Amino acid sequence: IKVKDAFFVKSASSLEETTPEGISEVAFIGRSNVGKSSIINAFTNKKGLAKSSSTPGKTRLINFFNVLFTQEDKTFNVQFVDLPGFGYARVSRSMKEEWQRNLTRYIEKRVSIRVFVHLIDSRHPFLESDHDVHAYLEKLIRPDQKILRIFTKSDKLKQSDVSVIKKHYPDALLVSSSNKKGIDKALHAIFEMLFG
């Protein structure tokens, strides 16, 4: 599979402002600065598509991108959704307050979401906030939805760090948007979850 084209659709600050339901969505979730914009740009091969939020936690909008996959002679239309990064503070108990209400409403009510891509900084693979987010998603997902963990910034790891992650998560997808390692494999994993 390949990404043939990708373009920005719109930004929304609430569920009401989102695009109509229909096209299958891949929702990207992660802490601020995890490398979310970078990986969306790497997946789509478009450098400036998703805008990096230089100020952690500043991006508060839900951004929609239309992505066209091709496999042999078939075309698949998917929506990538860049969700606001959650902050450095613990998310745990008060997640609904910490995370904007609109964001949780989107996550919980949006029918079109098929895959949640949970991005985790591979240098800090066992943060409580990521654990909490994963537990939160596991609890709310429907049978037709899936969660995919992707560990970002793998170029920063030593082999021993990789081993620790692989021990806890044997199928861990380790990806670097900087050197593009793991990008194709992760994109295939997303595609398989959508259409496999």
* Closest by Cα among 115, 110, 103, 97 to 59: 103
Judged by CB under 6 A, the chain residues 66 through 95 that form the site for ligand GDP are 85
Binding part of the chain for ligand GDP, among 16-24, 34-42, 66-74, 185-193 by CB under 6 A, reads: 34-42
- For the bound state, the minimum distance from the C-beta of residue 165 to ligand GDP, rounded and expressed in Å, comes to 15
Tell me if 63 contacts ligand GDP by CB under 6 A: no
d(CA 156, CA 179): 11
Pairing of strands 74-82, 146-152: unpaired
| SS3 (DSSP) at 63 | strand
Tell me if 145 contacts ligand GDP by CB under 6 A: no
* Closest by Cα among 25, 33, 92 to 58: 33
d(CA 175, CA 34): 12
Tell me if 177 contacts ligand GDP by CB under 6 A: yes
Judged by CB under 6 A, the chain residues 14 through 33 that form the site for ligand GDP are 30, 32-33
Judged by CB under 6 A, the chain residues 147 through 176 that form the site for ligand GDP are 152-153, 155-156, 176
- Residues in contact with ligand GDP by the rule CB under 6 A: 30, 32-38, 52-53, 85, 152-153, 155-156, 176-178
